[in-house]
Amino acid sequence: MKKLLGTEIMVGGVRFQSNVLMAPLAGYTCFPFRLMVERLGAGCAFTEMVSADALKYDNRATTKLLYTDDREKLKCVQLLGAIPTVFEKAAKSERLERFDIIDINMGCPVPQVVKAGGGVALMEDLPRASRIIEACKRSGKVVSVKCRIGMNPEKIVIEEFARMCESSGADMISIHGRTRSMMYEGEPLYDYIRMAKEAVRIPVFANGGIDSKDKALAVMERTGADGVMLARFGFENPLLFAELTGRATDDSKCSLIMEQLDLASECFDELFVLRYIKKLASYFMKRLPGTKQYKSYLYKSGNLSQLRDVLQKIFGDVAA
């Protein structure tokens, strides 16, 4: 049966308000951003990747990554690591008690992660990957897996990998249609996502290169996936969530960035807010005309008052 974009979907007994998801992005998918895309129609948005091992330390960095409150309807955390027992302790820990879904990072291509046996390296060690999924499932939570299609064109293992995820208890898989060797370049190899979807019965979400409604529909048709997952294009233009899900909104990039500034200021310290909002504003500016001249002013802002004035100038002067 043909699947429709923007419809509700059940994953492991948890209902997503839509089948358009926001991928975890290191440095970007903090609580204010997740709350925004959820309001715009995202079925869920994952935290930045959190080291499963780091959860045993009560450090500020991890606390910021895990920040949430009752305004976030569906709470989804992504864990990174390589040791099953560490994952089990993390999944059962009090620090993750409020989270509904645990996503396991088996797709990160960054060299230091791969060398440590985590991220996409787990696609070359199916027994270990299976034990990690089983370990997380013992927490009683819904478990998802984020992966790629393989390490390189000669090592595309996504069909076997998807079957392993399902048999190990994973409730869903989201697949970035590139190999590790492709990093973030080149057209995703969507046909391999279709092969994975046909190999399992659990929900499969297609990820990679989705920058418009037309592209999302084309990817759904080509892969047979149950939904799509946005990454950098969702960060560049969060209004895409409303477009893909049919969610009515009067928001503009101007209203969204100012809302993010207020919300981030409520939740985090000034240094964090300055860094986050400058990054977000830079992404928002990418497709807007006449904003290049403002970038230097943006990064010279030294406090929240200055930043607010610059943002108003940037997004008030263009059709946001």
Reduce the DSSP state of residue 108 to 3 states and report it: coil
* Helix and strand counts by DSSP (H, E) for the chain: 14, 10
Round to whole Å and give the CA distance between 9 and 15.
6
Q: Which two tokens stand for residue 278?
A: 């400058």
Strand partners, 175: 147, 206
Q: How far apart are CA 320 and CA 318, in angstroms?
A: 6
Question: Which two structure tokens, joined as six digits, stand for 214?
Answer: 């037309």
The amino acid occupying position 213 is K
Query: CA 72, CA 217: separation in Å to the nearest integer?
Result: 27
Looking at 50-202, list the stretches that DSSP marks H as alpha helix, in order from N- to C-terminal side. 60-65, 84-91, 111-115, 126-137, 158-168, 190-199
The one-letter code for the residue type at 119 is G
Q: Are 83 and 53 in contact (CB under 8 A)?
A: yes
Structure tokens at 79: 């864990």
Cα atoms in the Cβ-side hemisphere of radius 13 Å centred on 104: 37
Q: Which residues are catalytic?
A: 108
Angle between the N-to-C axes of helices 253-267 and 304-316, in degrees from 0 to 180, rounded to the nearest 10: 170
